[in-house]
Structure formats: structure tokens, C-alpha cells
């Protein structure tokens, strides 16, 4: 059980850091403008829901705060890499600054959205667990994640891109990102069941903390 918890923690942190780095890349999907992280970040909600279900509130909240610390540490190291004097023959400094130079603002936006949405997800998941008497994992997973993803999308897009794109584009990005995340939240339900089943194999440690 302990090894499985460590593995889930590692996947969570990896997805979180990757999402922070690639969130600055925007792409279009139909008429929506989306950050590239839209397909990575939802994985973190599956993991926090799994940990809440199997290990309880304390472990899930601990992971959320660990993620905050690791993201801040990553930002500091990326900034250090940016300000180190480039070698005279190294011509990629402008590219480094153009791609990774936006990370501090992206991470700041991500962290505010992250803390609010992830802590809400843990609380909401356990609330619905009490309401349902521990039954209907699919319902608890979706109800908690749907609201959390709305909070995350609205807060992240506003902080990360306000002033850099027009207001109509900003709204388009919020709506588009949320609709995609909503679809992914619905699609991840089987994976949540599989992950919980895998995590419980060998012993059950479920607790509401």
C-alpha cells in the first residue's frame, strides 16, 4: 500500500509540474483556444480522488501542499536557469526566455487555481462520500471534479492571460477549457474505479481523515 501511495504521489507531482510548463502553449480545438495543459492537469484530480477514497483526507491534503512546494521550487530553478549568463556560443537564450520566461506567471496562476480547486475537490469528494454512505464512486468523483474544474479553469485563465488577450478570447478560453475538462472528467470515471481498485488490492486504508 505504501509503495502504491508513493507511486501515485510521484505521478501527481509529475503531471502538475509538466502542466505548469506546457500551460503557456495555446492551441485551437474547433473554435476554442486552450492551453496545452488541459489534457494533463485533469489526471491530478483522479489521483486526489483515489487517495481521498483509499487513504483519506490527510494524505490527500498533504499531497496538495507538496505539489505547491514542488511547483514553487521548479519555478525558482527555471528562473535561475534564465538569469545565468549564457555562454557566448549559446544562441538559445531568447528561446529559453520566450518559452520558460512565462512560467512564473503561469505557475502563479496555476498555484492559486490549484490550491483552491484541489482543496475543494478533496473536501467535496469526502462530503459526497458521507452523503452516499461510501457508495456510488462515479457520482462522488464527478460531482467533486466538475465544480473543482470550473473553479480551476476560471481562476487559472483569468490570472494567467488577463491583459495578454482580448476579453472575448479570455471568456472563450475559460468556457472551452472547462468544457474539455468536463468531458475528460466524465471520461475518467472508469480510470478512477480502476485506480481505486488497484490501490486497495492488498489492504484497505479508507478513512475520511
Q: Which residue has the higher pLDDT, 6 or 206?
A: 6
Q: What is the pLDDT of residue 187?
A: 86
List the one residue out of 191, 64, 50 whose CA is nearest residue 126.
Answer: 50
- Crossing angle of the two packed helices 103-132 and 42-54, in degrees rounded to 10: 40
- Break the chain into its structural domains and give their ranges: 2-200
Residue 204 has pLDDT above 60, yes or no: no
Q: What is the pLDDT of residue 108?
A: 82
Residue 208 has pLDDT above 70, yes or no: no
Give how far Cα 60 sits from Cα of 63, 192, 196, Å: 5, 15, 14
The continuous run of DSSP H or E covering 32 comes out as strand 32-35
> Cell digits for 34?
486552450
Q: What is the second-level CATH architecture of the domain 2-200?
A: Orthogonal Bundle (1.10)
Residue 207 has pLDDT above 70, yes or no: no
Residue 205 has pLDDT above 80, yes or no: no
Distance from C-alpha of 96 to C-alpha of 81, rounded to nearest angstrom? 9
Q: What is the pLDDT of residue 103?
A: 63
pLDDT digits (tens, 9 = 90+) for 165-201: 888 888 988 888 888 888 888 888 888 889 999 998 8
pLDDT digits (tens, 9 = 90+) for 83-125: 999 999 999 999 888 888 766 777 788 789 889 998 999 999 8
List the one residue out of 197, 177, 157, 196 whose CA is nearest residue 30.
Answer: 177
- Crossing angle of the two packed helices 2-22 and 42-54, in degrees rounded to 10: 160
Q: What is the pLDDT of residue 209?
A: 47
Distance from C-alpha of 177 to C-alpha of 153, rounded to nearest angstrom? 6
Give helix then strand counts, H and E, for the chain: 8, 2
Contacts of residue 178, defined as CB under 8 A and 6 or more positions apart, other chains included, come to 149, 150, 153, 154
pLDDT digits (tens, 9 = 90+) for 25-84: 888 888 777 888 888 888 998 999 999 999 998 999 999 999 999 988 988 898 899 999
Amino acid at each position: 500500500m505504501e509503495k502504491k501511495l508513493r507511486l501515485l504521489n510521484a505521478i501527481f507531482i509529475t503531471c502538475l509540474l509538466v502542466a505548469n510548463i506546457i500551460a503557456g502553449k495555446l492551441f485551437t480545438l474547433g473554435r476554442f483556444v486552450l492551453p496545452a495543459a488541459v489534457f494533463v492537469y485533469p489526471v491530478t484530480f483522479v489521483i486526489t480522488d483515489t487517495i481521498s477514497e483509499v487513504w483519506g483526507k490527510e494524505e490527500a491534503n498533504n499531497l496538495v501542499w507538496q505539489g505547491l512546494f514542488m511547483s514553487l521550487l521548479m519555478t525558482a530553478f527555471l528562473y535561475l536557469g534564465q538569469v545565468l549568463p549564457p555562454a557566448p556560443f549559446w544562441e538559445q537564450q531568447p528561446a529559453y526566455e520566450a518559452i520558460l520566461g512565462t512560467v512564473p506567471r503561469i505557475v502563479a496562476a496555476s498555484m492559486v487555481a490549484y490550491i483552491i480547486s484541489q482543496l475543494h475537490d478533496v473536501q467535496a469528494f469526502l462530503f459526497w462520500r458521507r452523503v452516499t454512505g461510501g457508495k456510488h464512486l462515479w457520482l462522488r468523483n464527478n460531482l467533486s471534479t466538475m465544480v473543482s474544474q470550473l473553479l480551476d479553469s476560471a481562476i487559472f485563465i483569468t490570472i494567467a492571460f488577463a491583459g495578454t488577450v482580448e476579453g472575448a478570447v479570455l471568456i472563450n478560453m475559460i468556457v472551452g477549457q472547462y468544457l474539455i475538462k468536463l468531458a475528460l472528467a466524465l471520461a475518467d470515471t472508469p480510470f478512477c474505479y480502476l485506480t481505486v481498485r488497484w490501490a486497495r488490492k492488498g489492504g484497505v486504508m479508507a478513512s475520511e481523515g
